[in-house]
Structure 1
Amino acid sequence: MAGARQERCAASFALAADLAQCRAGFGALLARADLPLEAASEIARRYAEPHRGYHDAAHVGLLWLRHLLHGGDAGDRDLALAILFHDAVYDPLARDNEERSAALLARLVPGDTAWAQAAIRATADHLGHAGQDARVLWLLDLDLTPLAEREEVFARNAAALRREYAAVPEAGWRAGRCRVLEGFAQAPTLFRTRLGAIYEAPARANIAAEIASLRAVSGAA
């Protein structure tokens, strides 16, 4: 059992390093979501927007692949919709991306999407979410797994996030990034599902290392 878990862990971290595979995961996620043609075209267009560095098709594709790799239900369309739409509207400087993403889901996809909309709204505050729905917590944990990437992938993601905030001056970026990471560092726990056994420790190591780096640069400035 331990050996199998170690193999899944290794495969999971290898996934994030392979952007082509993550983009293929986006295709698999899109297929599972089973959207109307117009909706599928719209969502694909949005994730290809040029201002996206990190919050792109590869990001949501990775989350779906990790869901499957860690034994998630491949037939869970509601979760697929939540993953697919949770960053569908993305303006780095806006505070209502999640609300607008949920509204986009409601507009584009017919039928009952209430659970997926609520799950998307929960991603507005991962650590502050107080609900106990196990599937919502699973989504929140999946979305935090990139905090635990191997050093080179974590650095790649940080650089991609910086590109998204290109309009923010460097000092402001460093201060804001540090505040976000310190919020994670101060949380009693980052992950609230069984994913924590895999991702909690490396996530905390990455967070601590980047905070130290940001403080060092700020102190030298």
Structure 2
Amino acid sequence: MVQSSIRESEAGLALAADLDQCRAGFGALLARADIPPAAATELRRRYAEPHRAYHDAAHVGLLWLRHLLHGGDAGDRDLALAILFHDAVYEPLGRDNEARSAALLAAMVPGRTEWAQAAILATADHIAFSGEDCRVLRLLDLDLTPLAERPTLFARNTEFLRREYAAVAEPAWRQGRQAVLARFAATKRLFRTRLGAIYEAPARANLTAELAALAEAA
């Protein structure tokens, strides 16, 4: 059991190293979500927008691959839709990206998508969510797993995020980044599903290291 857990942890963390594999995961997710062709085309366009460096198809594909790797239900279309659309609208300085992403889902995919829309809205503030829906909590945890990447990949993701905020001056970027990470670090539990056994400790280590670096640079 211990060896199996170690292998699962290593495999989960290894996924982020291969961006091409993550992009292939995005394609697999599109196929699983079974959405109209026009919606799929629009999502491909959106996730390839030039201002995206982190919040792109590779990020979305990574979450789906980790969902599957960690025993997630490949047949859960609602969760597939939530993962697929959760960053469909992304403006780095926008304050309503999640609401607009949920609205886009409602507009582009026929049928009942209310659960997926509500799950997307929950990603607006992972820490503030106080609900107990285990599938929403899984989405939130999956979205936070990049906090736990191996240090070189965590640094890569930080650089990707910095590119998305290229319009923000360096002092303001550092101040904002510090505030976000400090809020995560102050949270008793980052992960509220079984994914915490894999991702909590490395995420804490990354948060501690970057906060220390930001404090030193101040």
TM class by shorter-chain length?
Answer: over 0.9
Q: Which residue of 1 aligns with 2:4?
A: 4
Q: Which residue of 1 aligns with 2:79?
A: 79
Q: Which residue of 2 aligns with 1:96?
A: 96
Q: Does residue 138 of structure 1 match 2:114?
A: no
- Give structure 2 stretches of 5+ with no counterpart: none
- 1:123 offset after TM fit, Å? 0.2
Give, in whole Å, the separation in 2 of the partners of 1:195 and 1:93.
29
Cα deviation 1:148-175 (Å, max 9, x = unaligned): 0000000000000000000000000000
Q: Which residue of 1 aligns with 2:189?
A: 189
Q: Which residue of 1 aligns with 2:45?
A: 45
Q: Which residue of 2 aligns with 1:209?
A: 209
SS in 2 for 1:204: helix
- Give structure 1 stretches of 5+ with no counterpart: none
Give, in whole Å, the separation in 2 of the partners of 1:76 and 1:37.
20
Q: Which residue of 1 aligns with 2:152?
A: 152
Q: Does residue 178 of structure 1 match 2:173?
A: no
Give, in whole Å, the separation in 2 of the partners of 1:66 and 1:208.
24
1:49-128, aligned counterparts within 5 Å?
Answer: 49-128=49-128
Opposite residue 188 of structure 2, the aligned amino acid is P
Give, in whole Å, the separation in 1 of the partners of 2:168 and 2:129.
28
- 1:177 offset after TM fit, Å? 0.1
Cα deviation 1:20-69 (Å, max 9, x = unaligned): 10001000111011110100000110000000010000000000000000
- 1:5 offset after TM fit, Å? 1.4
Cα deviation 1:183-220 (Å, max 9, x = unaligned): 001111100000001100100100010011111111xx
Opposite residue 189 of structure 2, the aligned amino acid is T
Instruction: Tell me how large the CA RMSD over aligned residues is.
Output: 0.5
TM-score by length of 1: 0.98
Q: Which residue of 1 aligns with 2:16?
A: 16
Opposite residue 97 of structure 2, the aligned amino acid is N
Give, in whole Å, the separation in 2 of the partners of 1:108 and 1:199.
34
Opposite residue 193 of structure 2, the aligned amino acid is T
Opposite residue 54 of structure 2, the aligned amino acid is Y
- 1:147 offset after TM fit, Å? 0.2
Runs of 4+ in structure 1 over 3 Å off: none
Give, in whole Å, the separation in 2 of the partners of 1:121 and 1:22.
24
Give, in whole Å, the separation in 2 of the partners of 1:35 and 1:20.
23
Give, in whole Å, the separation in 2 of the partners of 1:23 and 1:76.
20
Cα deviation 1:68-126 (Å, max 9, x = unaligned): 00000000010000000000000000110000000000000000000000000000010
- 1:3 offset after TM fit, Å? 1.0
TM-score by length of 2: 0.99
Give, in whole Å, the separation in 2 of the partners of 1:99 and 1:4.
39
Opposite residue 18 of structure 1, the aligned amino acid is D
Opposite residue 11 of structure 2, the aligned amino acid is A
Give, in whole Å, the separation in 1 of the partners of 2:133 and 2:27.
27
